[in-house]
Structure 1
Amino acid sequence: MSAHPALSAKRPILLIEDEPSVIAFLHAALERRGYAVVDAASGEEGLKRLSKGRYAGVISDIRMPGSVNGAEVHDWVQKNRPELKSRIILISGDTANSETQTFLAQSGTPCIEKPFRVQQLIATVEKTFGKP
């Protein structure tokens, strides 16, 4: 079932984040700019949604409680959703962490550091996913 190219612009962004306050902030900021957003409160939920749906891109926190973190979401996308390979943005509250730094350096994936401003987020989203 292939979507019509014009319709694919309406695909939502999948937001994978465990902090309700951050979800609310990101959701509001993105929707104000005209993006559709689907939330997932954990890496596991994010992978479930990714395996069932089609998305314009993925924004995922790197560090999340549970068995699936942002790096694993990223790896899953590389293997299973090649069309989203260059459409991932990671959010990190601990880029000083050497594991996180190594992962980001190897993946080349854009990362937004917490705390961030809406403008910074939107600029990265538009550059990575395109304008809505």
Structure 2
Amino acid sequence: MSENACVLIVDDEPQIRKFLRISLASQGYRVVEAATGGEGITQAALARPDLIVLDLGLPDMDGQQVLEEVRAWAEVPVIVLSVRASEAQKVQALDAGANDYVTKPFGIQELLARIRALLRRKVAEEGAQAVVTVGPLRIDAAARRVSLEGEEVLLTRKEYAVLWQLARYPGRLITQQQLLTDIWGPSHGDKSHYLRIVIGHLRRKLNDAAAAPRFILTEPGVGYRLAEA
């Protein structure tokens, strides 16, 4: 995958970005750079990278906030690369959705190995669950396309994120708190009304009556599950 994989580097230190750019390019990766958190979020949306290397100490916002913003709509693997070495900082980043955490100063060979491992895992996961179907409902993760009875269903980012999170584990109960944390971020785990609104919108768009659901099943007070095919 390294031949075509795109890696987004979000770091405010030009020398770090240059070092990573040269090292990654030598391995066949395409590299996109961002010097601020805001630019990083924009590039994550525009460039659709296969992996993000994210610093936490950014000039305009904390890297944790960047991570939460990206996690609201993307499952792209993220490696945090930071001077913050405390266990609490690592736990916070991993709970917010980071896939790995490397402290500065770092060994480039170790970082490259971690990147390769995450990209291999991403390819395996996408290959295993690129398309999920439940009766007439079809969710194509690669194209980010949802169709019902062959007709495309237009969803917002949050609606798609919730549906895909359920679709990744058909038949499995996903708690409200887990959905809120994974999609809105760890500070929103208690805001269940956000989730109820999105689920309501999804049901309307999928013609899925709450009283007799075909697709999104509710476990009252606990969470939701996608019906199995």
Same fold (TM over 0.5): yes
- Structure 1 residue ranges without an equivalent (≥5): 1-5
Q: Which is worse superposed, 57-66 or 68-77?
A: 68-77
- Structure 2 residue ranges without an equivalent (≥5): 122-229
**Superposed displacement of residue 101, structure 1:** 3.2
Alignment partners' CA distance in 1, 2:12 and 2:94: 24
Other-structure match for 1:81: 74
Q: Which is worse superposed, 100-109 or 89-98?
A: 100-109
Alignment partners' CA distance in 2, 1:77 and 1:35: 21
Q: After TM superposition, where is structure 1 displaced by more than 3 Å over at least 4 residues in a row?
A: none
Matched, 1:103 2:83: no
The amino acid across from 2:93 in the alignment is: L
The amino acid across from 1:27 in the alignment is: R
* Counterpart contact for 1:11–1:54, Cα < 8 Å: no
Q: How big is each residue's C-alpha offset from its partner over 1:61-109, in whole Å with a ceiling of 9 and x where there is no partner?
A: 011111x222112111211113x1xx110101012274x2341352453
Q: Which of the residues 9, 14, 37 maps onto 1:15?
A: 9
Matched, 1:115 2:105: yes
Alignment CA distance shift 1:112-1:33 (3 Å): same
Higher relative contact order (CA 8 A, sep 6+): 1
Q: How big is each residue's C-alpha offset from its partner over 1:2-43, in whole Å with a ceiling of 9 and x where there is no partner?
A: xxxx9xx72411110000111011111111111110000111
Percent of matched pairs sharing the same residue: 25
Q: Which of the residues 65, 71, 94 maps onto 1:72?
A: 65
Alignment root-mean-square deviation, CA: 2.2
Q: Which of the residues 35, 38, 43 maps onto 2:29?
A: 35
Q: Which has the higher strand share?
A: 2
* Counterpart contact for 2:10–2:34, Cα < 8 Å: yes
Q: Which of the residues 88, 95, 118 maps onto 1:128?
A: 118
Alignment partners' CA distance in 1, 2:50 and 2:94: 24
* Counterpart contact for 1:88–1:110, Cα < 8 Å: yes
Other-structure match for 1:3: none
Alignment partners' CA distance in 2, 1:10 and 1:79: 25
Alignment partners' CA distance in 2, 1:33 and 1:79: 30
In the superposition, the TM-score normalised over structure 1's length comes to: 0.80
The amino acid across from 2:80 in the alignment is: L
Q: Which of the residues 29, 47, 51 maps onto 2:45?
A: 51
- Which structure has the bigger radius of gyration? 2
In the superposition, the TM-score normalised over structure 2's length comes to: 0.48
Q: 3-state DSSP class of the match of 1:54?
A: coil
